[in-house]
Amino acid sequence: MSYEFLSSFAQTWGLLYFVLMFAAAVAYALWPSNKKEFQRAAHMPLIDEEPINE
């Protein structure tokens, strides 16, 4: 195996891997059943409750 072969292999499959991971992250973020969780997280800084410290 030469350096050129390994470099080409890593570039090709690495790009494919990262494109698939990006698509999975976007699909997770836009999935309709996750909307409620993301809405709650988005409003957390606006909640005016003091945390309970025991």
Residue 25 is part of which domain span?
18-43
- Domain annotation covers residue 24: yes
pLDDT, tens digit, 9 for 90 and up, residues 18-44: 999 999 999 999 999 999 999 998 998
User: How would you classify residue 50: left for phi > 0, otherwise alpha for psi between -120 and 50, otherwise beta?
Assistant: beta
CA pair distance 42, 44, nearest whole angstrom: 6
In the prediction, which pLDDT does 1 show?
81
Number of structural domains, the chain?
Answer: 1
- Domain annotation covers residue 26: yes
CA pair distance 27, 23, nearest whole angstrom: 6
> How would residue 46 be classed by pLDDT, with cut points 50, 70 and 90?
confident
> How would residue 54 be classed by pLDDT, with cut points 50, 70 and 90?
low
CA pair distance 20, 34, nearest whole angstrom: 20
| Residue with tokens 């991971």, as numbered in its chain | 21
